[in-house]
């Protein structure tokens, strides 16, 4: 039985997978926006750091230049120490024009560093310096400071955390919105369609895997393959029927023209006074009439079987009795073509069959063996016990044989003759009817053949102990 949406494992359902996709998309979008905001904030902080350092340098440049010009170490040290009042400044140095330090001041930053702030702003202090001049032409020294980027950006870490949390909230809202859109526009419709498709799924016990979309795809491929197979069969049947209808004019007109022609000759009195001639005309009329009757009978039987209007009366039947009952008729069919008949009967258990349908199958096979035999050939008919459950009836000939590539289509509708010889009468339905009748009795039919050596057509029927329930076509 095919899977229905209610029997699909929860984690494989389309709604769950779409929820996963919606969450993934929303988280990705939220993460991108959060990262963009954090990176923009970090860029602003780096620019602010430069502005902050420039402000400190501007503030201290003039007194530092005066101290350097007078080589006032005490004043320079006081100035350097005063710069540490800014929590972001970790070191201040004033040098004279020879590069010798006049003053140094240093402090440890109390601001906590984290991996995130170190990655975005930098893990170490950033150095800045300003050349000191008394006037435009007189260089007196250098003022250097080191600024901690994290300390210069108070609240940056909290803003980063807020951005991440904001991104997560936005992602959740976006995922919910996407899920609602998916659910209303896609999931519900696909689930309804999958439910309907599941009701018409394959009945071979094979379960479709995956979610509803996977099942729809699998069913589509199954139906596509089925339609292609049906189209090929329909095309083959159409071609076969076209060939059949094209040949029916010849097949029906030949015996009908013979009947009319010989009847008109007798009506005109031609040969009526000659008993031998008159008898020949009458035999030709009878032979042509039988041909026409056989042709129409095959067509009607095939139509009945296809329409399911042919009933089978299954009973215990002795295969040897059926062969013996029809031995004289078979002998006449074989004798008309100058062939010899050999009957090879073994004592077997009774089979379950329809006696009249089994007789029809045997006569069809014998008719084919006669039509396609070689001059002076032999037809052998008999039965054998192939196992405790089946009995095989067979009709063998010493004819021209059947090419191996034609064995697969031998029992198809409207296939005429082993080599499709146009001079051999028939509608191409004898073997197809025999196959349908045999299968209707619960048996199987087949053929073994070698080119130039002949063919053996066989029918396997179940014995009374292994018979299937009664069937009707």
pLDDT, residue 232, reads: 84
Residue 463, phi then psi, degrees to nearest 5: -75, 175
- State how far the Cα of 464 lies from the Cα of 319, in Å rounded to an integer: 12
pLDDT, residue 104, reads: 93
CB–CB of 219/23 below 8 Å?
Answer: no
pLDDT, residue 140, reads: 92
pLDDT, residue 279, reads: 84
Partners of residue 105 on adjacent β-strands: 92
pLDDT, residue 470, reads: 46
Beta-carbon contacts of 289 under 8 Å, excluding residues fewer than 6 positions away, are 255, 259
pTM equals 0.45
CB–CB of 415/243 below 8 Å?
Answer: no
Q: What is the pLDDT of residues 52-109, one digit of tens each?
A: 899 999 999 999 999 888 989 899 999 999 999 888 899 999 999 888 999 999 998 7
Taken in order 136, 137, 138, 139, is the CA torsion positive or negative?
positive
pLDDT, residue 286, reads: 83
Residue 470, phi then psi, degrees to nearest 5: -60, 140
Give the CA distances from residue 452 to residues 359, 366, 403, 416, in Å, rounded to whole numbers and listed in that order: 28, 18, 10, 19
Instruction: Single out the residue of 218, 178, 222 nearest to residue 194, CA to CA.
Output: 218
- State how far the Cα of 14 lies from the Cα of 35, in Å rounded to an integer: 31
Query: C-alpha angle with apex 258: 257 to 261, nearest 5 degrees?
Result: 80
CB–CB of 14/189 below 8 Å?
Answer: no
Residue 128, phi then psi, degrees to nearest 5: -135, 150
pLDDT, residue 250, reads: 55
**pLDDT (tens digit, 0 to 9) for every residue of the chain, 473 residues total?**
445 455 555 555 666 666 777 777 778 887 888 888 888 888 888 888 899 899 999 999 999 999 888 989 899 999 999 999 888 899 999 999 888 999 999 998 777 888 888 888 888 889 999 999 988 888 999 999 999 988 888 888 888 888 888 888 887 887 777 777 766 666 666 666 666 666 555 544 445 555 556 666 677 777 788 888 888 877 876 776 666 666 566 566 667 777 888 788 878 888 777 888 888 878 888 877 876 777 677 677 666 666 666 778 899 999 889 888 888 888 888 888 889 999 988 888 899 999 988 988 998 899 888 888 888 899 999 999 888 889 999 999 998 888 888 887 788 766 654 444 545 555 567 788 889 889 989 999 999 988 888 999 999 999 876 555 544 44
pLDDT, residue 400, reads: 84
Instruction: Single out the residue of 329, 400, 315, 387 nearest to residue 358, CA to CA.
Output: 315
Query: Which residue ranges form the domains of the chain, and what is each CATH number?
Result: 14-163 (3.30.450.20), 211-309 (1.10.287.130), 315-466 (3.30.565.10)
pLDDT, residue 91, reads: 93
- The full DSSP string for 22-37 is HHHHHHHHHHHHHHHH
Instruction: Single out the residue of 221, 174, 215, 162 nearest to residue 192, CA to CA.
Output: 215
Q: What is the pLDDT of residues 331-343, one digit of tens each?
A: 888 888 889 999 9
CB–CB of 374/353 below 8 Å?
Answer: no
Residue that the structure tokens 């949406």 belong to: 5
Distance between first and last Cα of the chain: 27
Residue 445, phi then psi, degrees to nearest 5: -130, 150
Partners of residue 351 on adjacent β-strands: 317, 463
Instruction: Report the b/e string of 426-464 with b at 16+ CB within 10 A.
Output: bbbbbbbbbbbbbebbbbebbbebeeeebbbbbbbbbbe
């Amino acid at each position: 039985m095919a899977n229905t949406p209610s029997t699909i494992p929860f984690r494989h359902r389309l709604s769950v997978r779409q929820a996963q996709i919606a969450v993934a998309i929303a988280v990705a979008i939220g993460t991108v926006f959060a990262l963009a905001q954090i990176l923009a904030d970090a860029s602003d902080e780096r620019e602010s750091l430069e502005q902050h350092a420039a402000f400190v340098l501007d503030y201290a440049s003039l007194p530092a230049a005066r101290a350097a010009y007078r080589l006032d170490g005490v004043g320079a040290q006081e100035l350097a120490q005063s710069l540490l009042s800014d929590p972001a400044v970790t070191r201040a140095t004033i040098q004279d024009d020879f590069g010798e330090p006049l003053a140094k001041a240093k402090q440890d930053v109390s601001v906590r560093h984290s991996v995130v702030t170190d990655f975005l702003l930098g893990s170490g202090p950033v150095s800045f310096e300003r050349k000191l001049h008394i006037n435009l032409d007189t260089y007196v020294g250098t003022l250097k400071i080191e600024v901690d980027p994290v300390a210069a950006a108070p609240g940056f870490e909290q803003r980063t955390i807020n951005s991440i949390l904001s991104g997560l909230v936005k992602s959740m809202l976006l995922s919910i919105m996407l899920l609602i859109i998916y659910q209303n526009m896609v999931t519900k419709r696909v689930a309804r369609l999958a439910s309907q498709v599941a009701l018409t799924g394959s009945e071979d016990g094979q379960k479709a895997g995956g979610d509803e979309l996977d099942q729809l795809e699998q069913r589509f491929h199954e139906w596509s393959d089925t339609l292609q197979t049906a189209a090929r069969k329909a095309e083959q049947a159409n071609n076969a029927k076209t060939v059949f209808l094209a040949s029916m004019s010849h097949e029906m007109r030949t015996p009908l023209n013979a009947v009319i022609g010989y009847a008109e000759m007798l009506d005109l009195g031609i040969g009526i006074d000659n008993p031998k001639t008159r008898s020949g005309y009458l035999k030709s009329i009878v032979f042509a009439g039988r041909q026409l009757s056989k042709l129409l009978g095959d067509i009607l039987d095939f139509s009945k079987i296809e329409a399911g209007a042919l009933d089978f009366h299954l009973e215990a039947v002795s295969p040897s009795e059926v062969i013996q009952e029809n031995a004289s008729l078979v002998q006449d069919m074989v004798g008309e073509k100058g062939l010899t008949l050999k009957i090879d009967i073994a004592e077997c258990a009774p089979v379950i069959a329809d006696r009249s349908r089994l007789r029809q199958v045997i006569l069809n096979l014998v008719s084919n063996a006669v039509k396609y035999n070689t001059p002076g050939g032999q037809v052998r008919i008999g039965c054998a016990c192939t196992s405790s459950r089946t009995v095989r009836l067979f009709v063998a000939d010493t004819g021209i044989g059947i090419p191996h590539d034609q064995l697969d289509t031998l029992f198809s509708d409207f296939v005429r003759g082993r080599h499709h010889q146009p001079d051999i009468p028939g509608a191409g339905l004898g073997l197809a009817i025999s196959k349908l009748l045999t299968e209707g009795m619960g048996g199987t039919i087949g053929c073994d053949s070698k080119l130039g050596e002949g063919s053996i057509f066989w029918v396997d029927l179940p014995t009374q102990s292994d018979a299937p329930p009664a069937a009707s076509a």
